[in-house]
Amino acid sequence: MTAKKKSYSKQFKIDAVKLVTEQGYKISEAARNPDIHPNVLRHWRNQFKTDSDQAFPGKGHMTPEREELHRLQKENGGFEWSMKS
């Protein structure tokens, strides 16, 4: 039997991170009540620190930088460099 992966909303993640960053809770304390693994909350905090405006874009959504990279990779997918000597 496989366990279903838990899914959390963007606002839930922001609120959990703010418990640590703004209210002074330790990660282990903030993760205990909603039953989040401390490493998950630590990952969310690091994402939020890196770019709070674009943190947690949602399932299937990418940051603008990742979207551009994906577009360029797709655009250049069939292109191969060849050097003739």
Q: What is the pLDDT of residues 39-73, one digit of tens each?
A: 999 999 998 888 777 677 666 666 677 778 777 87
pLDDT in tens, 7-41: 888 889 889 999 999 999 999 999 998 889 999 99
Domain range list for the chain: 18-51
Tokens of 73: 């990779």
User: 16, 12, 61, 22: which is closest to 39 by C-alpha?
Assistant: 16
Give the predicted TM-score (pTM) of the model. 0.61
